[in-house]
């Protein structure tokens, strides 16, 4: 990189860069063909009412398993999908499939659940997003109130006025809106009150030490109280231990999602669990 770097060092650096570049190129190819090659699928992670202990919904999480590289982590492939724009196509596939799955459950006679789908800022900022969403709702026949779109704070922060307009049109369609990874990056407590959102998801990083760190538990408490004061419900993400659950219960958190209850599941596994609790 710089001229005074030794030649060996330069070569090493170059080599790892090249490896990463190659891997990214392969992943890009995998993503490009993922739908056609059936290498994309969904796992669903249950969301539990903290008081009744019942499943109220589940989050759809994108999975890619390729013949070439095996199972890929979203933390690796989502950024590549976003940079390349392929997230638009893949995200639409996930949205459609998740809506179809949830509508199918209703038709099979299950009590209705809310399915949550992550929406990238790249998707939502494309013109035609609302039209696409409207089309998916009609095509799958899912009642809009059983679909929740998860967007992150940073999606909103990039343009607050536009965001409010956009969120309002989403609300007009009747879908639910959830603010994902809340508390990371920007502290948007200020304008939270001006946005039409239904759910707020406290990021796992605040939940991790909630039973050990007084500051984190106070932050969670403040977030929950503020959310409730504007009629927004709160999901705690990444709950793993009973100690965390106790604190969240004491602070009046509404819903939990985490390994303490269940990891993301294959659809058939989710169905088996729903059957056992129906």
Task: Give me the residues that bind ligand C2E (CB under 6 A), please.
Answer: 45, 61-62, 74-75, 78, 87, 91, 94, 118, 120, 150, 180-181, 237-240, 257-259, 264
Nearer to ligand C2E, 11 or 53 (CB): 53
Q: Does 254 bind Mg ion (CB under 5 A)?
A: no
Report, in Å, the least distance between residue 96 CB and ligand C2E: 11
Nearer to ligand C2E, 120 or 140 (CB): 120
Nearer to ligand C2E, 23 or 263 (CB): 263
Q: Does 153 bind Mg ion (CB under 5 A)?
A: no
Residues 6+ apart with CB under 8 A from 4: none
156 binds, among ligand C2E, Mg ion, none (CB under 5 to 8 A by kind): none
Nearer to Mg ion, 39 or 150 (CB): 150
Q: Interface with Mg ion by CB under 5 A: which range of 128-136, 154-162, 237-245, 251-259? A: 237-245
Q: Interface with Mg ion by CB under 5 A: which range of 118-126, 134-142, 220-228, 248-256? A: 118-126
CB 228 within 8 A of CB 206: no
Residues 6+ apart with CB under 8 A from 130: 166, 169, 170, 173
Scanning residues 168 to 197, which ones bind Mg ion (CB under 5 A)?
A: 180-181
Report, in Å, the least distance between residue 171 CB and ligand C2E: 20
Closest CA to 180 of 199, 206, 196: 199
Task: List the Cα angle 29/33/35 in 5-degree steps.
Answer: 145
Report, in Å, the least distance between residue 152 CB and ligand C2E: 7
- Residue 61: C-alpha distances to residues 1, 21, 40, 109, 140 (Å): 38, 26, 11, 24, 19
Quickly count: other Cβ atoms within 10 Å of residue 144's Cβ: 17
Nearer to Mg ion, 102 or 139 (CB): 102
Report, in Å, the least distance between residue 74 CB and ligand C2E: 3
Q: Mind giving me the DSSP string for 110-132?
A: PPP-EEEEE--HHHHTSTTHHHH
Report, in Å, the least distance between residue 180 CB and ligand C2E: 5
Q: How many residues does this entry show for the chain?
A: 278
Please select the residue that binds Mg ion; options are 148, 150, 153, 216, rule is CB under 5 A: 150
91 binds, among ligand C2E, Mg ion, none (CB under 5 to 8 A by kind): ligand C2E
Kindly give the residue spans of alpha helices, DSSP state H, lying in 40-187: 74-84, 87-107, 121-124, 129-140, 153-157, 160-173
Nearer to ligand C2E, 118 or 188 (CB): 118
**CA pair distance 260, 10, nearest whole angstrom:** 46
Q: Is 256 exposed, middle or buried (0-12, 13-18, 19+ CB in 10 A)?
A: buried
């Amino acid at each position: 990189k710089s001229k005074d770097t030794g030649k060996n060092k330069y070569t090493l650096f170059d080599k790892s860069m090249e490896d990463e570049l190659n891997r990214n190129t392969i992943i890009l190819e995998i993503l490009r063909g993922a739908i056609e090659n059936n290498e994309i699928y969904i796992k669903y992670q249950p969301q539990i009412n903290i008081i009744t202990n019942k499943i109220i919904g589940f989050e759809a999480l994108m999975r890619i398993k390729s013949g070439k590289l095996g199972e890929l982590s979203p933390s690796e492939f989502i950024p590549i999908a976003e940079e390349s724009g392929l997230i638009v196509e893949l995200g639409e596939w996930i949205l459609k499939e998740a809506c179809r799955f949830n509508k199918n459950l209703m038709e099979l006679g299950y009590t209705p659940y809310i399915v949550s789908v992550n929406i990238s800022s790249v998707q939502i900022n494309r013109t035609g997003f609302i039209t696409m969403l409207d089309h998916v709702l009609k095509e799958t026949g899912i009642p809009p109130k059983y679909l929740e779109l998860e967007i992150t704070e940073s999606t909103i922060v990039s343009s607050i006025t536009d965001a409010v307009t956009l969120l309002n049109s989403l609300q007009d369609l009747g879908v639910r809106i959830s603010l994902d990874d809340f508390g990371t990056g920007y502290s948007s407590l200020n304008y939270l009150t001006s946005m039409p959102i239904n759910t707020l998801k406290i990021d796992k990083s605040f939940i991790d030490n909630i039973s050990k760190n007084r500051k984190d538990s106070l932050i969670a408490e403040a977030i929950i109280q503020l959310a409730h004061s504007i009629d927004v419900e709160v999901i705690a993400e990444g709950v793993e231990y009973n100690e965390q659950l106790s604190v969240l219960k004491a602070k009046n958190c509404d819903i939990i999602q985490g390994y303490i209850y269940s990891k993301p599941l294959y659809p058939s596994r989710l169905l088996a669990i729903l059957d056992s609790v129906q």
